[in-house]
Structure formats: C-alpha cells, structure tokens
A = this chain, B = another copy of it.
C-alpha cells in the first residue's frame, strides 16, 4: 500500500518527524546515466523554505542514494535512498498529541491504527512526497532518452484562473516566479492573493495543470490499466488532491459529440493525427501520440493559524491553537510532485507496453 507502479515501482517510508524519510525504486532499467544535479534540482523545487509563499520549515532535502548505481549508471538493481529530517520542531506539535485537527488525518489514522505518530502529521504529512520527487526525477531521466517531456504549472489559485489552454503558455516561464504559473502577470496576482490569505491566518486552494509531450502511441493497457486511470490514481494519491480530469474534463463533458470528436487527418510518417485534441491524447485508455494534458484540484491547506473548535481523543470539545510552520497554499510546491507522479506513470507504462509483443 506504500508502493506505486507495476514495473517501475516506488515504495516509500517515513514520517514527518522521524530521523529520515526515503524509499526504494525497483524496476529502473539498467544502463541509464544519472545526473545527480538534475535530481537535486527537482528536490529544491519541492523543498520547504524556498520562498515567502511557502512554509518556513527549513530542510536541505539532500538525498542519499544507497544502491542501484555504479559509475554513474543504473545497474538494474533497486535504488534505495534516504532524506534526513533535520528541522523538526516536534514540540510545536505537542498540542495536537491528543487533539484532532479538523480536515487532517489525525482522527482517521488514530481510529484506523489505534495509535499514531502525531508529530508533524506523521505518515500523513506531505513531507513523504519528497520521496516521490526522487523517483519521478529519476524516471524523467529515462523519459528524456525516450523523448517524453512532462511539465506542470499552477493554473488556478482561489478564484484567479489562468484563462487560456496549455498550448498558450511556455513551460520555460513556469519557474520564473514562486507561484509556478507561466503567465507572469497572473502569477503576480496569485502571489499577492496567497500573501493576503496568509497574513489573515487563512489558506487557499486551486488547480495544477499537467502536460505530457512526446508520448508515443500505445501506452496504457485495457481495461483497468487505462493510461488516464493510472494518472488519476497517481494524482489523487498526492496530499490535498480533490479532483482529476483530462482532455475535455468536467468543463466540456456536457458538450455535444459533434463538438468534441477529434477528427483524424494524415500526419507525419503516415501516422494519423487529430485536428483537435479534446481527447487529451488518450483514446480507449491508450495514448494516441498527441499531447496529454490534465488538471488536478487541490484543496486549501487545513491548518489555519487561528483558533478552531474541535474534539480531543477522549471525545471532548476543545479549542485548537495551531502552531508549526505551514504552507498557506500547496500549489507552488505541488507542481514538481505532479510532474514526478506523471513521470513515474509514464515510464512504468512505457515499460509495460514493451511486453505487448514478443
């Protein structure tokens, strides 16, 4: 249950305030040259403390790779890794040892397991996603060889929605601002909104858009292994995710068929190409060679820096005075996580597809 993927498979471990988090990547193909700087760069993009828009928890998030590489190349054996938890202010959490924070996992973990490591949310903390970024960043280096490129960006914060389709934005602009929105002017408005919300002790949610380019025809499996079902499972496993759609999605699903079918025309190398792409690059669960694009909805962070009414583990009403360092908005830091999960799905799907033929 702490593993993701069939062939390229991440198994992760770790709690927010234990000595370290980490994971094991199984199924990485052999012979791939790994650029550790690229890996570290992705971790820096997810790292807390990187801007004033995110939590001030200060983690260097240095990853230690313990196996699976030799002379800079993958060996085909599993890649074990750890990331130390350095800046633990566990005392910040003493107030919640016996109190259930609203809309957090405190109550559900306690009820399920009979006990929980309450410090920093324990296993339910988004700190775990650093392990996903490691697995995703390594998958990306394999996907680079295959010509598959993935990027994501913040497309909505609160009621500020990026108006145009992904095709109007350059991925090069995404990291030009701390919101990770490819329209600089809208990014500024989003950033201002996040700061305003933060100063009010409140939080805010939004939407991230993901794009996969260069995907060959044929990835995804019938009928339960549909490529978009695997992407949905991947995205919905990210902390705070509340929704996933792709292609026409929720917004255009009410249109007419005549408005939404993607006409085939002869394309390059004799392959069919579609004039439009309402399908989102996937037909019948299998990639058709067009761009894949999708959206992920993220809820506002549940920790408010205000007093909130709740119950304790004896069932009594109490007031929670939240402390700790928290993101007012998960979107900026979730962008590399969305990319990482997409990369894992794509490499895994690519490897599985190899078995469709002798």
Is A104 an interface residue when CB atoms closer than 8 A count as contact? yes
Q: Which listed segment binds B: A53-61, A166-174, A303-311?
A: A303-311
How long is the Cα–Cα vector from A14 to B108 in the complex, in angstroms? 35
| A177, chain B: closest CB distance, angstroms | 19
> Does B353 lie within 8 Å of A354, measured CB to CB?
no
Q: Which of A1-23 contact B (CB under 8 A)?
A: 1-4, 7, 9, 11-15, 18-23
**A31 CB–B CB distance under 8 Å:** yes
Also in contact, A253 and B298, with CB within 8 A (given A285-B105, A315-B266): yes
Interface residues of A in 304-341 (CB under 8 A from B): 304, 306, 308-311, 315-317
Known: A202-B257, A265-B317. A218 touches B111 (CB 8 A): yes
Within the complex, which residue of B22, B124, B249 is in contact with A242, where a contact is CB–CB below 8 Å? B249
Q: Mark A241-253, 1 if CB is under 8 A from B, else 0.
A: 1111111111001
Q: Which residues of B have CB within 8 Å of A103?
A: 260-262, 278-279, 283
Tell me, in angstroms, the Cα distance from A113 to B32 when the chains sit together: 11
Does A357 sit within 8 A of B, measured CB to CB? yes
Selected contact of A27 from candidates B20, B105, B355, CB within 8 Å: B355
A 220-235 contacts with B by CB, 8 A: 220-226, 228-230, 232-233, 235
Known: A31-B113, A113-B75, A256-B197. Contact between A242 and B245, CB under 8 A? Answer: yes
Complex partner residue of A230 from B67, B117, B233, B266, CB under 8 angstroms:
B233
Residues B222 and A123 in contact, CB atoms below 8 Å apart = yes
Shortest A354–chain B CB gap in Å is 5
Whether A245 pairs with B244 at a CB distance below 8 angstroms is yes
**A13 and B257 contact, Cβ closer than 8 Å, known pairs A2-B24, A29-B357, A233-B233:** no
Closest 3 pairs (CB-CB, A-B): A105-B284, A243-B245, A13-B80
Besides A14-B67, A232-B233, A242-B280, 10 other CB < 8 A contacts?
A: A23-B80, A29-B355, A30-B113, A30-B356, A108-B284, A109-B284, A112-B286, A245-B297, A257-B300, A261-B304
Q: List 29 A-B contacts (CB under 8 A).
A: A1-B26, A1-B27, A2-B225, A13-B77, A22-B80, A30-B112, A75-B123, A76-B112, A76-B356, A105-B286, A123-B222, A145-B358, A202-B256, A203-B256, A205-B260, A206-B253, A207-B253, A223-B237, A228-B241, A229-B237, A242-B250, A242-B280, A244-B244, A253-B297, A258-B306, A260-B300, A263-B310, A264-B311, A354-B354
